[in-house]
Amino acid sequence: MKTMFTLLFISVTLALGAQDVKPPYCEEGPATYGSVAAIPGATTAPPLPRFTTTPTKEYKVQVAILRYTDPADYPFHPDLVARYRPCEQIWVVESRESYPNRTDAVALQEKLKGLGYSGSYITELLGYQ
């Protein structure tokens, strides 16, 4: 009986310890770039570097958001990739590439719907070229 309680205690302790811990930056609020906390003794933050890029809209197709499921257990289409978001503790299954025009994203969405991914939707991204 004592051994059973010991094994139960050890298994519960290991199960709790095996849970994913969120990274520290998940608990912090969004910081503005103008804050000077990171530079000791400075009164203003150095300016951000400027690049000759232009912002462009890009599109991705998302097919699933997995909270308590490991995507390694499911074979997804080769055009899809699973990306982990540690703050939300979810996996997002989405298109491997982003598309500069919406018609390409809609074409992939229709292709995936024909393969059984009926709940897919298109998300907008901000890319730089």
Mean pLDDT in the chain? 82
**Cα–chain center distance at 57:** 19
pLDDT of residue 59: 97
5 has pLDDT over 70: no
Q: Phi and psi at residue 89, in whole multiples of 5°?
A: 55, 50
pLDDT of residue 97: 94
pTM of structure = 0.67
Question: pLDDT: is 85 or 16 the higher one?
Answer: 85
Enumerate the domain spans of the chain: 55-128
Question: pLDDT: is 19 or 127 the higher one?
Answer: 127
74 has pLDDT over 60: yes
Cα separation, 94 vs 30, whole angstroms = 26
User: Mind listing the pLDDT tens digit for each residue in 93-114?
Assistant: 999 999 999 999 999 999 999 9
Question: CB atoms < 10 A from the CB of 52, how many?
Answer: 6
